[in-house]
Amino acid sequence: MSDEEEILSSNIFEFYSEENVLITGGTGLIGREVSKLLVSQQAKVTTVSLDRVNPVSGTNHIIGDLTDINFCLDITKGQDYVFHLAGIKGSIEVTKSKPASFLVPMLMFNTNILEAARRNKVRKLVYTSSIGAYPTAELFIETMGESGDPMDTYPGWAKRMAELQVRAYFEEYGLEWSVVRPCNVYGPGDNFDPSNAMVIPSLMMRISEGENPLRVWGDGTAVRDFAFSRDVAFGTIQALMHGTRGSHVNH
């Protein structure tokens, strides 16, 4: 048994065992790993996404549109915990060329899931924000309301707005929901499409195709943080369980 599995078995099994858990974006990089870990803890897992892919074994997968508030109300009924991981992923170039396609749906499904969870009295919820919600800086300041535009402009604003919504629900209704900000995530099932892939899968694809010399964006001075999807999933599971004290934690 690995150290991770031992921690899960000893600290988290009783928390999630036989509980109803909803995972939006359950077929994504983080969502699939969260699903696997929770199924191993005998949670009753329902995953939701628009992807028609093979779901994680042991989960109930629903295909649906989170921009529909009635759909969100239906899927959150009877759920004890919600992992709101759904997002729209794309390269920097794609987010700049299609800003409305990122901003508007994210605002809609974040609002719908949070409100549906409140109405259906979900006990705990964790929202997956992003390091892109921070403004561009050499040092990220730990606050829930940074000054300056987020580095991922349109997706970043959507993430910040959802964080503010989480805080508003806490202040008005006392709901102590959690927020995590992962850095750049990579792992099994990543997108290798060269037209919109993220940094690591894009570089891997070009290396496998023999690109020589290998083209890397920028002038080489940029610094990026990367995290393996299963590690992020493990941290997110613990964040929901223990809470983030009204703020966010970084992955």
From CA 34, how far away is CA 17, in angstroms rounded? Answer: 14
Q: Is 239 left (phi over 0), alpha (psi -120 to 50) or beta?
A: alpha
Residue 45: what pLDDT?
A: 97
Q: What is the pTM of this model?
A: 0.83
Task: Give buried/exposed letters for 160-185 (b at 16+ CB in 10 A, else e).
Answer: bbbbebbbebeeeeebebbbbbbeeb
Q: 70 phi and psi, to 5 degrees?
A: -65, -40
The one-letter code for the residue type at 145 is G
From CA 249, how far away is CA 12, in angstroms rounded? Answer: 19
Residue 1: what pLDDT?
A: 47
Residue 95: what pLDDT?
A: 62
Compute mean pLDDT per 10 residues along the chain, 251 residues long, and list them. Answer: 56 86 94 94 94 90 96 98 85 67 88 97 92 59 57 78 92 92 83 72 82 77 82 92 76 60
Residue 113: what pLDDT?
A: 97
Domain boundaries, the chain: 3-191+225-250
Closest CA to 67 of 188, 156, 3, 158: 158
Question: Domain 3-191+225-250 - what CATH class?
Answer: alpha beta
